[in-house]
Structure 1
Amino acid sequence: MHDVGEQLRARGRRMTSQRQRVLDAVRRLAHATPEEVVAAVASDGGPPLAPSTVYRALDALEELAVVSHTHLDHRAPSFHLAEHADHIHLVCRDCGRVEQCPSELADGFAGNVLRVNGFVADVTHMAIHGRCSSCATR
């Protein structure tokens, strides 16, 4: 990962201890809603942080393309490190299980969208809803 502190300084910001704690929590959790990041930061042994501080830190880190988010459902987004972005989430509507598959599996879809609509689809970190193999065989 590139130097986040340097990127922040280039934009007139700095790597505060709060932003570092939020980044560390996202790194530990791999995929997490803002509420899960708030809980992780609250239990990391550091001083308490207001949820609004965590949300602002996530926004700042996303603006720098250090973290990114995906909507796995209609609720809160799931944040992850941007370098972890090249996969597709498969979300089971029945049991809620979330699996991952390589984004290359969507190349045909993206090619068809481009051919038919002239739209360049970004499939590097999307969620597809359906039924997992266990639920589908029931």
Structure 2
Amino acid sequence: MTTTDWQERLRAQGYRLTPQRELVLAAVERLGHGTPDEILHAVREQSEAVNISTIYRTLELLESLGLVRHTHLSDRAPTYHSTTGPDHVHLKCRSCGEVTEADPELFAPMLESLTVEHGFTVDLGHLTVFGLCGTCGVRD
């Protein structure tokens, strides 16, 4: 999605393009995955005039417009990421904290089984699999 695309999406829904919204979306893009506090820190590198409540309100709006998504990579605040990239499943290492993005096709058999056996459709944007990365999982 280009800058023009998300600007048009905001305007089409009756929202103004504000500097704060632009800063928040740019910070999410730059971070890849970021909590509201991390996004605030990134935004404040550009402007000290933004507070945490503005970050939360803006993220809520951007998510309702489909420009960002959130997932839970910890038991704390949600983590936001842009929707400009392909859908992915998050792999979170419990040891080092590394977050890797995996192709949802790897999970296709499981997802199909959940649909067939339970009538359940998985929301991949929220799916996080916890475990150990290749480095931390190596045992001596």
Structure 2-normalised TM-score?
0.88
Shift of 1:47: 4.4
Asked if 2 retains the 8 angstrom alpha-carbon contact of 1:27 and 1:81, the reply is yes
Q: Which of 17, 20, 24 is the aligned partner of 2:19? A: 17
Q: Distance in 1 between matches of 2:75 and 2:57?
A: 21
Match of 2:8 in 1: 6
Match of 2:83 in 1: 82
Matches within 5 A, 1:1-138: 1=1, 3-44=5-46, 46-124=47-125, 126-138=127-139
Q: Distance in 1 between matches of 2:125 and 2:69?
A: 11
Structure 1-normalised TM-score?
0.89
Paired positions, count: 137
Q: SS at 2:84's partner residue?
A: helix
Shift of 1:96: 1.8
Q: 1:20-68 CA deviation, whole Å, 9 max, x = no partner?
A: 1111111111111110110011112x34211111111111111100111
Q: Distance in 2 between matches of 1:55 and 1:96?
A: 24
Query: What RMSD in Å do the two structures reach over aligned CA positions?
Result: 1.6
